[in-house]
Amino acid sequence: MPINILMPALSPTMEKGNLARWLKKEGDKIKAGDVLAEIETDKATMEVEAVDEGVLAKIVVADGTADVPVNQLIGVIAGDGEDAKTVAGGVSGGVGKAAPAGAQPAAPIAVAASPVSAPAPASAPAALNGARVFASPLARRVARDAGLDLAKVSGTGPHGRIVERDVKTAIAGGGAKAAPAPAAARAPVAPSMSDEMVKKLFTAGEFTEVPHDSMRKTIARRLVEAKSTIPHFYLTVDCELDTLMAAREAINNAAPKDRDGKPTYKVSVNDFVIKALAVALQRVPDANVTWTEAAMLKHTHSDIGVAVSIPGGLITPVVRQAESKGLAQISAEMKDYAARARARKLKPEEYQGGTSAVSNLGMFGIKNFSAVINPPHATILAVGAGEQRVVVKKGQPSVATVMSVTLSTDHRAVDGALGAELLSAFQKLIENPIGMLV
């Protein structure tokens, strides 16, 4: 029986991917474990492996094809004893075409970097009679704008989840029941300018159009969703770094040398920041939370995401259980994450989730800023540059190295007083770093 190769879902929220390139040609023999193709998401490049033997009979989606929907047929393998040409003749080429008759409905392929399993509730199909409807944020927005009732839409995404194409199909077919928009949604909104209106404001030939790639589109969508749906609240405090800088120098000077005479580790101020935030969340556990509509999720560990700039955008790898890791281990993990992030080789489970995050622009000389919360986090810490400032101590002016940090909180989960308590705990740890080492 022919074996379908489908576009895999590399994360619970993935709806489309780019087929970067095939590593096998039509007619090639396939063994279990062979890498068939490379798939690009907005964050990483992943490999698709075969888990069965056969012959690659047909490549349905060509190299370089962008925005291929999850579960879309991308190729077909002729099984043991089948004629590859016959199997290929029964497949219509191109994205969106049907699979050959009699082909297995599910693709027996594996992704080399295994994606994170979707949480159990999200694996349920859309439900009626007031039950929760499981749909992607984009599908919800499109449905809301069209006045459609998602409970009447059939989902074709992973585990029956409603995705954008399901909503558009319902709109085109008129098969979904209209739902009255809530009062807040019916409030007048100023229309945004169209692309053509924007371009008319500038002289033709004096600008170059650079199409958005999938990463930039995803960043734009998530930022709009975050600022539109999360009530941000900001708290800022100054931290003196002189004691920390002395401790950092002593730690780095004490680092053992490898065979080449180089230190085995070199911790940075950012490593201290990650550790301090992780410990602070343990000391203020009510702030180590995630908001959901039904309940507050209080986390046992402090999993800290760290914003890393990469070509075309940024990614946030997560240091798991950072409260229990030493500075040298955090430093080593971050160096590894940063290198693989820039090569787009991070696994989904390495950049998804987390309980809070750090965004540090101090190395660029930025004094202070406010970061946008990265859902599902309830907090994010924006870190500015350490600089020499005049401060008053015991009524006398003196010079100290000072760093400004701003905590953005989801006010539904972490209100002003609780956020201030967390930021105070962080400040004490930064100014007395020995407290995070015991």
Tokens of 266: 């070199």
Percent of the chain with pLDDT over 90: 44
**Which of 177-181, 244-248, 429-433 is the least confident region?**
177-181
Under 8 Å between Cβ of 274 and 283: no
Q: What is the average per-residue pLDDT within 172-192?
A: 50
- pLDDT value of residue 121: 36
What's the pLDDT tens digit per position in 138-173? 777 778 777 788 877 887 765 577 877 888 888 777
* CATH architecture of the domain covering 3-111: Beta Barrel (2.40)
Under 8 Å between Cβ of 382 and 370: yes
- Gap between the Cα atoms of 271 and 358, Å rounded: 10
Under 8 Å between Cβ of 148 and 176: yes
Output DSSP code: residue 138: H
- pLDDT value of residue 362: 94
Residue 404 CB: number of other CB atoms within 10 A?
20
In CATH terms, are 3-111 and 218-436 the same topology? no
- Gap between the Cα atoms of 155 and 34, Å rounded: 32
pLDDT category at 42 given cuts 50, 70, 90 is low
pLDDT at 130 exceeding the cut of 70:
no
- Mean residue pLDDT of the chain comes to 83
Under 8 Å between Cβ of 331 and 271: yes
Under 8 Å between Cβ of 230 and 402: no
- Gap between the Cα atoms of 249 and 327, Å rounded: 13
Under 8 Å between Cβ of 53 and 84: no
Burial of 369 (0-12, 13-18, 19+ CB in 10 A): middle
What's the pLDDT tens digit per position in 50-83? 877 888 888 899 888 888 888 888 888 887 778 7
Q: Which of 206, 6, 208, 2 is nearest to 86 (CA)?
A: 2
**Which of 144-153, 183-192, 365-374 is the least confident region?**
183-192
- Gap between the Cα atoms of 235 and 380, Å rounded: 11
**Domain coordinates in residue numbering, the chain:** 3-111, 120-173, 218-436
Percent of the chain with pLDDT over 70: 83
- pLDDT value of residue 174: 63
CATH class assigned to 120-173: few secondary structures
- Gap between the Cα atoms of 53 and 82, Å rounded: 12
Long-range contact pairs involving 264-269 (C-beta distance under 8 Å, separation at least 24): 264/328, 265/328, 265/331, 265/332, 266/331, 267/327, 267/328, 267/330, 267/331, 268/331, 269/241, 269/244, 269/245, 269/362, 269/386, 269/403
The CATH number that domain 218-436 falls under is: 3.30.559.10
Q: What is the pTM of this model?
A: 0.65
Q: Catalytic residue numbers?
A: 411
**Which of 19-23, 41-45, 263-267 is the least confident region?**
41-45
Tokens of 425: 């705990």
